[in-house]
Amino acid sequence: MLRRERMDAAVESWRGLLPAAALLAACLIAVVIMHLRLPKAGEQLAVVFPPGTSLAQAAGILGAADARLVRSGGLDNIVVAEFTRDMSLAELVRGGMWLALDPQVAGGCLAPIVSAGHSPMIRKRDAAL
């Protein structure tokens, strides 16, 4: 009986978190929707590919879409690319791209992780010594 009461209490405590979790999910979805963009000629965008896409595969997909890889993101399947022509949503999806976002907004989340030993500031300091 005591075990059953503990399980009921645990379930109730998780139910209390559901409204907060729903609000968080809604906010994240709203932010993504607000910053979705279709590529325009000469514009740089953060592009998200399916999980498991390597940086080389992403570069190949971008090349086929007449786009240039500018830099990688925090994961191999997230890159910043510059497009040479306007693209429709159908072309993005057909090309294997999931999302195209404003890189200024998404840049903080998508930036590659740099360890302190490889930081440009550390290298500059070490070169001066």
HSE-CB of 93 using CA atoms within 13 angstroms = 3
pLDDT value of residue 50: 93
Residues whose CB falls within 8 Å of the CB of residue 107, separated by 6 or more in sequence, listed in order? 46, 80
- Encode pLDDT of 26-76 as tens digits: 988 887 777 777 888 888 988 989 999 999 999 999 999 889 999 888 788
**Are 4 and 48 a contacting pair, CB within 8 Å?**
no
pLDDT value of residue 116: 46
HSE-CB of 51 using CA atoms within 13 angstroms = 0
> Residue 53 is part of which domain span?
36-112
Q: Say how many domains are in the chain.
A: 2
49 and 96 in a single domain? The answer is: yes
Residue 61 in any domain: the answer is: yes
Beta bridge partners of 44: 82
59 and 11 in a single domain? The answer is: no
104 and 44 in a single domain? The answer is: yes
Residue 87 in any domain: the answer is: yes
57 and 108 in a single domain? The answer is: yes
Residue 99 in any domain: the answer is: yes
Residue 78 in any domain: the answer is: yes
